[in-house]
Amino acid sequence: MKPKGQLPPGPRGWPIIGNMLQMIINRPAHLWIHRVMEELQTDIACFRFARFHVITVTSSKIAREVLREKDEVLADRSESYASHLISHGYKNISFSSYGENWKLVKKVMTTKLMSPTTLSKTLGYRNIEADNIVTYVYNLCQLGSVRKPINVRDTILTYCHAVMMRMMFGQRHFDEVVENGGLGPKEKEHMDAIYLALDCFFSFNLTNYIPFLRGWNVDKAETEVREAVHIINRCNDPIIQERIHLWRKKGGKEMEEDWLDILITLKDDQGLPLFTFDEIRAQCKEINLATIDNTMNNVEWTIAEMLNHPEILEKATNELDMIVGKDRLVQESDISQLNYIKACSKESFRLHPANVFMPHHVAREDTTLAGYFVPKGKTVNDIGLMSSK
């Protein structure tokens, strides 16, 4: 155990600005961090950006300490222009620090939106989109006299976006229905904005470490995140406002049919609406961000790894033939028995995580990681956990 006060090793920095200049010169930031940590031969390092210390981790062993053993101690989140704007003032789970609001939103997410009852109730939506994606791929194959390869990423994104829309809003499109079963112009714009928002959140931005620069649009990052959030709001808000009016002014429907209905109808101890309009917007936006990128990334990489390793593909195919057979399509009820395919999916998540950086963790009190001292308020970031460790 190192004596209290000894931070993890890190590169020498300049007075006042620390390692800020090195980070700017050597972008992209995550690759530079990896190089520095390899040179230092360490799995945990400390970088100083102005008055902020960022502790980075690349070891799965230390990551377990961060994410499981000391999860509550490191449960706060760092503040940034992008996360504040995306979450409407830290009103969701991912970007808000540990506290009563975080516990409330997490409870709603786990016991209401993601409960077995709700998932069973929305099974019909997922079945509809499973049929739609088969039809969509078939239509793509029939276009023109010469059959063209199918873009796996676009196909998976079409499915993920459609399922998310159905389960959250109870509808597939924002306005016009596309004849071939794909996404319409507004859905594509919505999805592009989601990815732009994710890029803005995970990118290195000077204003995260020099707050007085906020409002000056350094690196045009603020313009990009504002544009992304504006597009998402323009698509989501009319549906949310109309549904709030339906439930709170006109008496609602016979029963909740999707996630939005549940968020709107929840009541507090006084019988008042549990969430405001902005809080509902924040939850919907978080679902937008969380349900598309992770799923698409995992499916695409799983398919790619299977194509690169035919023996794995053969084992997965044999499992499908044995459990499901060749006379019907896979159903959700089959998944519990598809152990080999589930293992392939988990391994794909390990080898190819969706983002280079995970959401930052901030120490709520003084603690230690791998024997090094981590003072209260310091940021801990798990990066690059895609190695064989």
Domain spans, the chain: 1-78+360-389, 81-292
- C-alpha distances in Å from residue 220, one per residue of 192, 226, 256: 18, 10, 42
> pLDDT in tens for each of the 389 residues of the chain?
444 678 999 999 999 899 999 988 988 888 899 999 999 999 999 999 988 889 999 888 998 898 889 988 999 998 888 899 999 999 999 888 899 999 999 999 999 999 999 999 999 999 999 999 998 998 888 776 567 788 889 999 999 999 999 999 999 989 878 777 788 899 999 999 999 998 888 887 888 888 888 778 877 888 999 999 999 999 999 999 999 999 998 888 888 899 999 999 999 999 999 999 999 999 999 999 888 888 888 899 999 999 999 999 999 999 999 999 999 989 999 999 999 999 999 999 888 876 555 678 899 999 999 999 999 988 887 654 433 33
Q: CA-CA distance, 341 to 58, in Å (whole number)?
A: 27
- DSSP assignment of 106-117: HHHIIIIITSHH
Distance CA 320, CA 342 (A): 12
Helix (H, G, I), strand (E, B) or coil at 12: coil
| Largest Cα–Cα separation, the chain | 72
Q: Name the CATH superfamily, with its identifier, for domain 81-292.
A: Cytochrome P450 (1.10.630.10)
Pair 357, 381: CB distance under 8 Å? yes
Cα dihedral 336, 338, 343, 346 sign: negative
